[in-house]
Amino acid sequence: MEGPPELSFEAGQWVSVPLGPKSVRAYSIASTPRSSHRLTLCADVAPGGIGSGWFRGLAVGKTVEFKAPFGGFVFRRDDPRCPLFVAEEIGIVPIRSMLIDLDERGFELSATLLYWGRDPSWLPYHHEFLALTRRCPGFAYHPMVAAGDAGRLAARADALVSDTRDLVAYVSGGGAMIDAVREVLMARGLDRKSVRWEKFW
């Protein structure tokens, strides 16, 4: 950060980056609020679109302008319910920020993460989450690597969740996956407002 020298934000929020006169893209902040002087972004460059080309063309030392912070997909520490995090590939970024932020703050983490990718290379932060399971006995991590429809996440969520009375869900990724997971959890009795989501595509 240069001007201002630091940014106050909540884990899970995003920045708005102008890529041209009529082109703006949103990128979730992967780092945590404790790193207010230096932000880390994580982007999927596979689609080959405007944003992908912009990231690939960045040179070391280039100044990047952006507006921030935005978004209400943030963890509510005053909510006593047990969180279920569900992420699809690059949708893990805001959830990664939330989980690492909670760990850094010494929050007693009692949560479950269900994380899908088409192959292991599409699971960024996988090793971080494995390490988190070793540090936090209450954290359960369920990575899924499978080709095809990410809707399998919904079936896995259905299998993992037996009781929704003390549950709140944070779901991040594609719209089709979010809808499928939300329908499964609501069928289990979870209130619609208890499924918080961030749509990436």
Residue 167, SS3? Answer: strand
CATH of 82-199, one of 3.30.420.40, 3.40.50.80, 1.10.1740.10, 3.60.21.10: 3.40.50.80
Cite the residue boundaries of each domain of the chain with CATH code 3.40.50.80. Answer: 82-199
pLDDT on residue 73: 98
pTM value is: 0.94
As beta bridge partners, residue 20 has 23
Judged against a pLDDT cut of 80, whether residue 82 lies above it is answered with yes
Query: pLDDT by residue (tens digit) across 49-62?
Result: 899 889 889 999 99
* Maximal CA-CA distance, the chain: 51
Query: pLDDT by residue (tens digit) across 94-140?
Result: 999 999 999 999 998 899 999 999 999 999 999 999 999 999 999 99
As beta bridge partners, residue 142 has 114
| Mean pLDDT of the region 82-90 | 96
Of the chain, the percentage scoring pLDDT greater than 90 comes to: 82
Alpha helices in the chain, H assignment, sequence order = 50-56, 92-104, 126-135, 152-160, 175-187
Rounded to whole angstroms, the Cα distance separating 21 from 14 reads 20
Average pLDDT, the chain: 94
Give the C-alpha distances (Å, rounded to integers) separating 107 from 7, 77, 101, 116, 120: 22, 9, 9, 25, 29
pLDDT band for position 146 (cuts 50, 70, 90):
confident
Rounded to whole angstroms, the Cα distance separating 160 from 192 reads 18
